[in-house]
Amino acid sequence: MYIHFTEEQKQQARQTDIVSLLQSQGEQVKKSGSEYEWLYNSQKITIRDNLWFHQYERVGGDVIDFVRRFYNKSFQDAVEYLLGNSSCTIIRTQQDKKEKQIKEFIPPTKNNDMSRVFNYLTIKRGIDKEIIYSFVHEQMLYESKDYHSAIFIGFDKNSVPRHAHKRGIGTNSTYKGNVSGSIPEYSFHRHGESRYLFLFEAPIDILSFISMNKKDWKKHSYAASCSVSDRVLFQCLKDNPNIQFVYLCFDNDIPGQEANNRIQNKLNALNIKSKILVPKHKDWNEDLIFSK
């Protein structure tokens, strides 16, 4: 039966504290600074009051969205539960790890050309044309046929596509996300022959950084976690034994710098040399744009 909720009721539901909700379900949460962390299928969810953020998929929302996503409820059922008007219990949606690993990965279909993405990257993002041509030539970048999004492909060591990151290019679009079935260890990356690897949050940050540092850029290795994860980094270290020094180049914000420090501590424990590079502005693309 459909129940109409007033705006006041919706707002009341949205004020529910997510940590308290999780603890009432017997879930474990960990305090981290001013926030909390919750692991969902080994992936970190950051929580602050009634808001959450998925660190790998780079998506988030309020507590209603949380219940809908992680407890597989409709909007109406989620609001009803949060208002305390439901007699039903909620059970966390579990995803078997083995099933997740073998989930089929299908890259988005390519468009016949990539004029829209090319214009977006050069005009709006200020990225050097030669850099774009290089990644297109290596089949790591193209335009999707459906929404004309920018698609950044990650390959395994056998040159098989294993990861795709989508970036909306509409005038007001902020959409970005990883295609279902993508394997985090193979997110957008490129191996070079030198001892240096540069790790970023997003593919556009890589293209922006290279645009500002073009000299001998093809000699080095680059990787974008498409999150604040370190999984692609350690896969790159495994697949490319030449790498002996890592530059950590995450965004100039709290999640980015926390990730830089966390990953540097891991590298220190493994006796791998590293250095943190911080963009002057929010990210490397903003640095590129302001440098013009």
Last residue of a domain, one of 77, 101, 125: 101
Cβ atoms of 167 and 150 closer than 8 Å: yes
**Number of structural domains the chain divides into:** 2
- Burial per residue of 180-199, b for 16 or more beta-carbon CB atoms within 10 angstroms, e otherwise: ebbbbbbbbbbbbeebbbbb
Question: In this predicted structure, what is the pLDDT of residue 100?
Answer: 44
Average pLDDT, the chain: 88
pLDDT digits (tens, 9 = 90+) for 106-122: 999 999 999 999 999 99
Residues 55 and 128 in one domain: no
For the sheet with 161-167, list strands across it: 141-143, 150-155, 161-167, 176-178
Residue 195: domain span: 115-291
The 10s digit of each residue's pLDDT in 56-110 is 676 788 999 898 888 878 888 888 888 875 444 445 555 444 444 446 899 999 9
pLDDT of residue 227: 83
125 and 159 together in one domain: yes
Alpha helices per DSSP H over 124-202: 129-137
> What dihedral do alpha carbons 200, 185, 149, 73 form, nearest 10°?
-110
Same domain, 265 and 172: yes
Q: Is there a single domain that holds both residue 212 and residue 134?
A: yes
Are 87 and 22 in the same domain? Answer: yes
**73, 101, 129 - which closes a domain:** 101
pLDDT band at 171 (very low <50, low <70, confident <90, very high): confident
| Whether 43 and 177 share a structural domain | no
Domain membership of residue 24 (yes or no) is: yes
What are 233-245's pLDDT values in tens digits?
999 999 999 999 9
Residue 159 has pLDDT above 60, yes or no: yes
Q: Is 191 left (phi over 0), alpha (psi -120 to 50) or beta?
A: beta
CA nearest neighbour of 157 among 242, 241, 245, 236: 236
- What is the DSSP annotation of 51-103? EEEETTTTEEEEHHHHHHHHS---HHHHHHHHTT---S--------HHHHHTS
Residue 203 reports pLDDT greater than 80: yes
Do 17 and 149 share a domain, yes or no?
A: no
Last residue of a domain, one of 54, 75, 101: 101
Between CA 131 and CA 108 the distance in angstroms is: 22
Give me the pLDDT at residue 276, please. Answer: 98
Is 1 domain-assigned? no
For residue 241, being part of any structural domain is answered with yes
Is the pLDDT at 32 greater than 50? The verdict is yes
Which phi and psi angles does 109 have, rounded to 5°? -65, 140
pLDDT tens digits along 246-282: 999 999 998 899 889 999 999 999 999 999 999 999 9
What local confidence, expressed as pLDDT, does residue 292 receive? 78
* Domain-embedded: residue 110: no
Residue closest to 152 by CA, chosen among 222, 203, 205: 203
In a domain, 108, yes or no: no
- pLDDT above 90 for 206: yes
The DSSP output letter for 108 is P
